[in-house]
Amino acid sequence: MSFACIEEVCHSFGSNRVLNAFSLRLESGRFTVLAGRNGSGKTTAARLLNALVIPDRGSVIVDGYDSRDKASVFEIRKRIGLVLQNPENQIVADTVEDDVAFGPENLGLSSDEIRRRVDASLKAVGLYDKRLDNPSSLSGGQKQKLAIAGVLALGPKCIILDESLSMLDRPSRADLLKLIRRLCDEDGIAVLLITHDMEEAAYSDYVYVMDGGSVVMKGSAAEILTDERSLHLHGLRTPVACAAASRLREKGYPVPQDVLTEEDLLSFIGGAAC
Amino acid sequence: MLRDVTLGRYYPARSVLHSLDPRTKLAGLIIYIVTVFLASTPVSLAATFLALCVLVVLSKVPVRFMIKGLLPVAFILAFTAALNIIFAVDGVWKAILITVRTLEVVFGSNILTLTTQPRAISDGVEKGLSWMRVFKVPVHDMAMTVSIAFRFIPILADEAGTVMDARKSRGASFSGGLIKKSRALIPVVVPLFASAFRRADDLSVAMDSRLYGYSRTGGSLHPLRYRGCDMAAYVMMLCYMVAMIIMKVVGA
Amino acid sequence: MSQIIRFQDVSYSYAKGTPYEKKALENVSISVESCDFLGIYGLSGSGKSTLLRLAAGLIKPSSGQIEIGRSARVGLVFQFPENQLFGSTVLDDVMFGPLNMGLEKDKAREMAETALRQMGLGAEFYNRSPFSLSGGEKRRAAIAGILAMGTEVLAMDEPLAGLDPEGQESLCDILERLNEKGRTIIVVSHDSDVLGRRCRSAVVLENGRVSDCGSSGDVFSRNPGFAPLSFRVMEKVKAMGINL
Q: Do the strands C74-77 and C22-33 form a parallel or antiparallel pair, or are they unpaired?
A: unpaired
A241 to C233: CB separation less than 8 angstroms, yes or no: yes
Q: Is residue C135 part of a domain?
A: yes
A107 to B218: CB separation less than 8 angstroms, yes or no: yes
pLDDT band of residue C1 (cuts 50, 70, 90) is low
Query: For residue A106, which residues of chain B lie inside 8 Å, CB to CB?
Result: 210-215
Q: What is the mean pLDDT of chain A?
A: 94
CA–CA separation, A220 vs A215, rounded Å? 14
Distances from the Cα of B129 to the Cα of A111, A166, B221, angstroms: 20, 42, 19
CA–CA separation, A203 vs A27, rounded Å? 16
- Span C101-112, pLDDT tens digits: 999 999 999 999
Question: Do B39 and B144 meet the contact criterion of CB atoms below 8 Å apart?
Answer: no
Q: Which domain does C118 fall in, by range? A: 37-61+69-239
Domain ranges of chain A: 4-238
Size (chain B), residues: 252
Cβ count near B150 (within 10 Å): 19
Q: What percent of chain B has pLDDT over 70?
A: 96
Q: Mean pLDDT: which of A183-187, B40-44, B247-251, C134-138 is highest?
A: A183-187
Q: Is residue B130 part of a domain?
A: no
Positive or negative, the Cα torsion across B46, B49, B54, B57?
Answer: negative
A269 to C167: CB separation less than 8 angstroms, yes or no: no
Q: Which candidate in C133, C157, C166 is best for mutational testing of the A interface (most A CBs within 10 A)?
A: C166
- Span C120-148, pLDDT tens digits: 999 999 999 998 998 899 999 999 999 99
Predicted local confidence at residue C238, as pLDDT: 87
Are residue B231 and residue B107 in the same domain, yes or no? Answer: yes
| B137-158: average pLDDT | 86
Q: Is residue C136 part of a domain?
A: yes
Query: For residue A247, which residues of chain C lie inside 8 Å, CB to CB?
Result: 244
CATH of the domain at C188: 3.40.50.300
C237 to A169: CB separation less than 8 angstroms, yes or no: no
Predicted local confidence at residue A96, as pLDDT: 96
A150 three-class SS: helix
Partner residue facing A38 (CB), from C167, C225, C230: C167
Q: Is residue B37 part of a domain?
A: yes
Task: Please tell me which residue of chain A has the smallest CA distance to C227.
Answer: A170
- Span A24-69, pLDDT tens digits: 999 999 999 999 999 999 999 999 999 999 999 999 999 999 999 9
- Span B77-101, pLDDT tens digits: 788 778 777 877 777 788 888 888 8
CA–CA separation, A195 vs A206, rounded Å? 13
| Distance to chain A for C165, nearest Cα, Å | 6
Encoded amino acid at A71, one letter: A
pLDDT at C20 over 80: no
CA–CA separation, B195 vs B21, rounded Å? 36
Q: Is residue B11 part of a domain?
A: yes
Q: Is A26 exposed, middle or buried (0-12, 13-18, 19+ CB in 10 A)?
A: buried
CA–CA separation, C51 vs B28, rounded Å? 47
CA–CA separation, C46 vs C194, rounded Å? 20
| B17-27: average pLDDT | 93
Q: Is residue B154 part of a domain?
A: yes
Q: Is residue C31 part of a domain?
A: no
CA–CA separation, B217 vs B140, rounded Å? 10
For chain B, the domain total comes to: 2
The answer for residues whose C-beta is within 8 angstroms of residue B90's C-beta and 6 or more apart is none
Q: Which domain does B111 fall in, by range? A: 1-116+227-252
Are residue B183 and residue B235 in the same domain, yes or no? Answer: no
Q: Do the strands A57-62 and A65-66 form a parallel or antiparallel pair, or are they unpaired?
A: antiparallel
Please check whether residue A128 touches B, CB under 8 A.
no
- Span A78-88, pLDDT tens digits: 999 999 999 99
CA–CA separation, A8 vs C26, rounded Å? 57
Question: Do B191 and B42 meet the contact criterion of CB atoms below 8 Å apart?
Answer: no
Angle A90-A92-A98 from CA coordinates, rounded to 5°? 120
Give bridge partners of residue A190 from the DSSP assignment.
A158
| Distance to chain B for A41, nearest Cα, Å | 17
How many CA atoms within 13 Å lie on the side-chain side of A226? Answer: 18
B233 three-class SS: helix
CATH number listed for the domain at residues A4-238 = 3.40.50.300
Q: DSSP states of C93-155 as a string?
A: HHHHHHHHTT--HHHHHHHHHHHHHHTT--GGGTTS-GGGS-HHHHHHHHHHHHHTTT-SEEE
Q: What is the mean pLDDT of chain C?
A: 92
pLDDT band of residue A237 (cuts 50, 70, 90) is very high
pLDDT at B5 over 60: no
| Distance to chain C for A62, nearest Cα, Å | 30
Are residue B26 and residue B93 in the same domain, yes or no? Answer: yes
Predicted local confidence at residue B4, as pLDDT: 44
- Span C30-72, pLDDT tens digits: 999 999 999 999 988 889 999 999 999 999 999 999 999 877 8
Partner residue facing B169 (CB), from C20, C75, C86: C75
Q: Is residue C16 part of a domain?
A: no
The answer for residues whose C-beta is within 8 angstroms of residue C17's C-beta and 6 or more apart is none
Predicted local confidence at residue C184, as pLDDT: 95
pLDDT band of residue B3 (cuts 50, 70, 90) is very low
Partner residue facing A86 (CB), from B202, B207, B222: B202
Predicted local confidence at residue B252, as pLDDT: 63
Question: Do A83 and A156 meet the contact criterion of CB atoms below 8 Å apart?
Answer: no
φ/ψ of residue C233, rounded to 5? -65, -45
Are residue B9 and residue B112 in the same domain, yes or no? Answer: yes
| A120-139: average pLDDT | 94
| B223-233: average pLDDT | 92
Q: Is residue C8 part of a domain?
A: no
Are residue B192 and residue B233 in the same domain, yes or no? Answer: no
CA–CA separation, C117 vs C125, rounded Å? 10
Question: Do A262 and C233 meet the contact criterion of CB atoms below 8 Å apart?
Answer: yes
| Distance to chain A for C242, nearest Cα, Å | 9
φ/ψ of residue C101, rounded to 5? -80, -5
The answer for residues whose C-beta is within 8 angstroms of residue B223's C-beta and 6 or more apart is A111
Tell me, rounded to whole angstroms, the distance of Cα B147 from its chain centroid.
13
Predicted local confidence at residue B2, as pLDDT: 42
